């Protein structure tokens, strides 16, 4: 049978459909991570069937999620991603799950949405225990504080494709534009009526490693800051579109978050909207009014190929997602 386009995204897994091949792969990964030969062999035999079925379920959810309507797609993709992550987590934590609290999602979101709710302004909050903080620590060496919050539009800015969509929808004036010089920085599109106040922009520059000395000049919509020194990698910390650079929408730097962690947070929030905000979700999917539809539809289509691509590295010779 000819594979569908969505199942072809996992073509790199073909060899590991055999549990014998998968067992040898897991044994090798445990040895690389410092396990004794005895433990590596024991853990690989114990975890091979678990890994096999996690990935069977995960790929099934994922490929079927590509075929269903937008109304239910986030549910299938979220649980598909969860199963795929649980399989890979066994290579870093062969005893997962050692406790019942590791089985919870590990993140939460507001259950009752505000009347003027928009998806881009929604946020997810990290919990002290659960699957997300556990796999983030073991797989990506990222420790998250309990109560840490991330806005959806900030998470989207991990990827150039979503940045370009944001600017296409809201216009280039939606973000402060930056011109870099050796001893100064010009920031355009500054308005006291917007979130990007002067103090916030200054704080953002500091967060980006650019030490501000003061304001040299200010005109309508434009501020010229004097700086002590321009870091060599300053441009890489900004958002680039063509020949222009823009400030990210937040002081919070998402560059250290692994792409799969961000996919988990976004798909979790979308799956919660599917389940518990039926009127809002149904209206969005059928009426297609508002900017949220463009972001959600584009993201889900894009995630269908990006998530399998992120996992591919593990099954190459390197065997690591980091």
Residue 166 lies in a domain: no
Q: What is the CATH number of the domain that holds 197?
A: 3.30.70
- Quick one: pLDDT at residue 2? 39
**CA torsion through residues 75, 79, 82, 88, sign:** negative
Rounded to two decimals, the pTM is 0.88
The pLDDT, as a whole number, for residue 21 is 97
pLDDT value at residue 24 = 97
Which residues of the chain are modeled with pLDDT < 50? 1-4, 193-196
210-249 tens-digit pLDDT: 888 888 888 878 888 888 877 787 777 788 888 888 887 7
Same domain as 131, residue 29: yes
Burial environment of residue 78 by CB neighbours within 10 A (0 to 12, 13 to 18, 19 or more): buried
Instruction: Name the strand (E) or helix (H) holding 31.
Output: helix 19-32
Work out whether strand 184-188 and strand 212-219 pair parallel, antiparallel, or are unpaired: unpaired
Residue 109's pLDDT is what? 92
For residues 320 and 322, what is the distance between their CA atoms, to the nearest angstrom? 6
| 136 close to 143: Cβ distance less than 8 angstroms | yes
- What is the per-residue pLDDT for 263? 98
Tell me the helix, strand and coil percentages in the chain, rounded to 5.
55, 10, 35
- Based on the fold, state whether residues 142 and 261 are members of the same structural domain: yes
Query: Domain span at residue 202?
Result: 176-246
């Amino acid at each position: 049978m000819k594979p569908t386009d969505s199942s072809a995204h996992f073509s790199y897994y073909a060899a590991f459909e055999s549990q014998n091949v998968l067992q040898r792969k897991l044994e090798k990964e445990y040895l690389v991570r410092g396990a004794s030969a005895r433990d590596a062999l024991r853990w690989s035999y114990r975890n091979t069937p678990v890994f096999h079925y996690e990935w069977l379920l995960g790929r099934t959810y994922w490929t079927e999620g590509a075929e269903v309507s937008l109304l239910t797609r986030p549910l299938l993709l979220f649980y598909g991603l969860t199963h795929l992550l649980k399989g890979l987590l066994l290579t870093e934590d062969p005893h997962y799950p050692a406790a019942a609290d590791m089985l919870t999602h590990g993140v939460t979101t507001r259950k009752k949405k505000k009347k003027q709710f928009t998806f881009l302004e929604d946020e997810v909050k990290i919990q002290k225990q659960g699957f997300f903080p556990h796999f983030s620590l073991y797989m990506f060496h990222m420790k998250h504080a309990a109560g840490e919050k991330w806005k959806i539009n900030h998470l989207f800015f991990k990827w150039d494709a979503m940045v370009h969509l944001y600017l296409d929808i809201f216009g280039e004036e939606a973000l402060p534009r930056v011109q870099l010089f050796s001893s100064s920085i010009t920031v355009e599109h500054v308005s006291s009526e917007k979130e990007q106040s002067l103090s916030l922009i200054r704080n953002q520059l500091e967060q980006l490693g650019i030490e501000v000395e003061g304001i040299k000049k200010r005109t309508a919509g434009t501020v010229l800051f004097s700086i002590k020194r321009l870091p060599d990698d300053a441009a890489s910390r900004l958002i680039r579109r063509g020949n222009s650079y823009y400030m990210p929408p937040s002081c919070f730097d998402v560059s250290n978050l692994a792409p799969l962690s961000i996919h988990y947070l976004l798909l979790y929030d979308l799956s919660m909207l599917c389940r518990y905000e039926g009127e809002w979700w149904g209206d969005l999917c059928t009426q297609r009014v508002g900017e949220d539809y463009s972001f959600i539809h584009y993201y889900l289509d894009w995630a269908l190929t990006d998530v399998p691509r992120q996992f591919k590295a593990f099954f190459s010779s390197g065997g690591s997602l980091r």
